[in-house]
Structure 1
Amino acid sequence: MEEHVGADDGRPGSAGEHALQEAHGSRERADRFYREQMSDHLNARMREFVGRMEMVFVGTADSGGESDVSFRAGPAGFVRVLDPRSLAWPEYRGNGVLASAGNITENPHVGLLFMDFVRDLIGLHVNGTSSLISTSEFQERYPDQEVEADIPGRRPERWVVVHVEEAYIHCSKHVPRMVPVRRGRSWGTDDGRKKGGDAFGVAAERGLGPHRRDAAEQPVSTRIRHVEES
């Protein structure tokens, strides 16, 4: 299993977590977790789990360690398991900021969290190194993968490919159960209202855009409801 930079004595994890384990007397529990739950690849159950997930949280950082977490969603299986040690997902046209992609160009390390809030109430952490490749290169490398099957009418601008270094469980004891509700999703829209508008009132506070100046005083839940009902 590949180790974090700074890890000592051949154990998984970072030097920082090892130091805290010693300070708080949790090394024995940590070693049991490393031994029983941490894998350097996606086993069959993990691959099945990823294959039915409709969302993933993506953690990245730039070369200076400034971090960012983002959210990706799509039809079940939009994150492709390419083999037990690699997975990939498509990146579509968004707000143009490219925060996650930009971080990956500086620092390839990524942390993924898949959560099942509906059936198993469990999570899966996947840590590894990533790279950005074009759709044409993805097709050349993985000719058995469909590149336009996930969202009709939309073509990925690029793909993120992750080499898996660690995969382990996120325990279920505090995971809330959620009930899916059907809703229309405006994939790829540039309609500001359908994208959430100025839900947190930042533009309104600055007097920017077509947003009402009193929007900053309106509760977020109310503004989002208005967007979804429009």
Structure 2
Amino acid sequence: MHADNEPLHITDMAALERLYGVPVAASISKEIDHIHPHYRAFIEASPFLALATSGPAGLDVSPRGDPRGFVEIRDEKTLLLPDRRGNNRIDSLRNIVSNPNVALLFLIPGIGETLRVNGRARILIDPALLLRFAIDDKPPRSVLEIHVETVFFQCSRAILRSRLWDAAQHVERSSLPSLGTILQDLSGRQIDAKHYDSELPERLKTTIY
């Protein structure tokens, strides 16, 4: 029984499994505990990933991007991910300090399949290691060492449904609120939208690394 105003929802695993059924064989056999050469090819071709973490304050997912192959495969169980400069919120790193469990989702422009990696991370700051990841003579402040626990590909349905790589679906930036407008409104006008937006292109250019 449920109240008239309460939507039907799943409350236990058995009900969830009855609703969706058993996974197909391929969805199980694609999952392994290491970086197979086939999966290596996906990682080396990817210029972008989403990094998911969890900590005392809750969950976080953060974008990471660089020239393709920016994630180094040290061996079949270890990935190295440079942490470039940003806004210094360091939400992901704060979470990793208290909970090393992470998940990565690799995307490749024009490719429908994505690659999912789950594992445990630690934050490395060895100067020699940081220098190896320098771009424009600017090393990252840290490198995430990720011990791989599971790896598998995700089929292309979500990318196909969203038409993510279809240029005809691209949205004009001017159709959305500018970053300055958002900051001005959320800060109670302590930040000036016009000033922020006018400086943003040059700021991005000079601080990207």
Residues 186-225 of structure 1: per-residue CA shift (max 9 Å, x gap):
xxxxxxxxxx973561333411123259x9xxxxxxx79x
- From 13, 19, 23, the counterpart of 2:18: 23
Q: What are the within-5 Å matches in structure 2 for residues 1-230 of structure 1?
A: 19=14, 22-24=17-19, 26-27=21-22, 29=23, 33-34=27-28, 36-63=29-56, 66-118=58-110, 120-136=111-127, 138=129, 146-148=132-134, 151-175=135-159, 176=163, 178=165, 198-199=179-180, 201-205=182-186, 206-212=188-194
TM-score of the two chains, using structure 2 as the length reference: 0.73
Alignment gaps of 5+ in structure 2: 1-10, 168-176, 204-209
Deviation sequence 1:72-94 (CA, Å, 0-9, x none): 00011111111111101111222
Cα-to-partner distance string for 1:14-39 (whole Å, 9 max, x where unaligned) = xx996455332522x256522x1111
Give identity over the alignment, percent: 23
SS in 2 for 1:57: strand
Alignment TM-score, normalising by the size of structure 1: 0.67
Aligned counterpart, 1:189: none
| Cα pair 1:135 1:147 within 8 Å, conserved | no
Count of aligned residue pairs for this structure pair: 180
Find the residue that maps to 1:207 and give its secondary structure: coil
Secondary structure in 1 aligned to 2:146? strand
TM-superposed CA distance for 1:52, in Å, is 1.5
Cα distance between partner residues in 2 of 1:229 and 1:93? 16
Q: Deviations over 1:82-135 (max 9, x none)?
A: 1111101111222111111011001100010012231x3110000011100104
- Runs of 5+ unmatched residues, structure 1: 1-15, 140-144, 181-195, 216-222
Q: Is the 8 A contact 1:21 1:30 kept in 2?
A: no
